[in-house]
A and B are shown apart, each in its own frame.
Chain A
């Protein structure tokens, strides 16, 4: 593997990179949705007090 290389098509490696890309999209959307859903509740839990104080 030493020496400069021109990338060649390798389905298994493409799948590997595709899985990482897919995971990144899912995490971006998933955590974004989760933040909107449980974010305010978690803030109240961690910071204390009621939401009317905001």
Chain B
């Protein structure tokens, strides 16, 4: 029995990973989990670039990143299901568009890989993506606006939710049948839903990310879905599309369980800690650090890619250290702020009791 289990794990690549790398992946997963649980996004932003910088082939970096997103989405969906924040009808409609999009993105990765360009093009895409999202989050944080998941909005009742004006306009203008009614009395063309799903699916399949940072705003502003339902449904949908994407990458040898299993082991714990921290600390207070982390990530991927192009291993190592270091610093800031706030509250309660 034990022999067959060890044999199966060896066949899936778990035993190919050295203990040092397993520890690194568990630790990195923990950090990524804290960020995902606290900010509601960024679960996979840093995984694929880090794997590319660790010299994994592009299909393995993207495929393993996607399988990690799939596992994370399963865990988060279970939680949101318990909270009644999943619109299953919307999720099922989106699955088709996202799946075709992911497959188109995946095919692009293998096409670029056959020309020897995949690693470079994906790294450049990450520089643009991390830089763009980082700049947006930093700007919003400095303006005092949200960015990412608005935890206050996510806690509101669906009845209190107001559909954004742009979503109302799209609902009035695009009335191509079939029209569907979603939770929160939203009535929208199935084609709008499919278009949103396809576009974000391409991004997921190409970069190995969940795509929630684009899909959630798209669901809110293009479809008019209430914020809590957008969060839950996005995750539910990733379970299926990400599962299928992982399966397709896995068929081509692109999913390494020796990477995914330890990452998931760490991130599931980190996500619990990060999620619990949102009850203590307002994420807007330290969102500027998150934006800064993404910007540092963009610079790090750029440095790593230049190092790879020049064959300079020092630059590649510097890029990797910057990516992981930036994530560690922000996760530590989240934990430190949370513990400090809890201690202050505890002291006040103790003084009041005296």
Contact = CB atoms under 8 A, between A and B. Distances in A.
A13 to B, nearest CB: 4
Given A31-B269, A47-B339, A17 B243 contact: yes
Nearest to B341: A47
Interface residues of B, number: 44
Nearest to A30: B268
A1 interface: yes
Contact of A16 (B104, B250, B339, B353): B250
Nearest to B100: A4
A19 B264 CA distance: 12
Main secondary structure of the interface of B (DSSP, over half): helix
Contacts of A21: 71, 74, 243
A50 to B, nearest CB: 9
Given A46-B339, A47-B343, A10 B251 contact: yes
B349 A54 contact: yes
Contacts of A16: 12, 250, 255, 257
Size class of A's contact patch? 20 to 34
Given A16-B250, A23-B261, A7 B244 contact: yes
Interface of A: 1-5, 7-8, 10, 12-17, 19-21, 23-25, 27-28, 31, 35, 43, 46-49, 53-54
Interface of B: 8, 11-12, 59, 67, 70-72, 74-75, 78-79, 103-104, 107, 110-111, 113-114, 243-244, 246-248, 250-252, 255, 257, 260-261, 264-265, 268-269, 272, 339, 342-343, 346-347, 349-350, 353
Shortest Cβ-Cβ A-B pairs, 3 listed: A24-B74, A27-B268, A13-B250
22 contacts: A1-B59, A2-B110, A2-B111, A3-B107, A5-B107, A5-B248, A7-B244, A7-B247, A8-B251, A10-B250, A12-B11, A15-B12, A17-B250, A20-B71, A20-B261, A20-B264, A21-B74, A28-B268, A31-B268, A31-B269, A46-B342, A53-B350
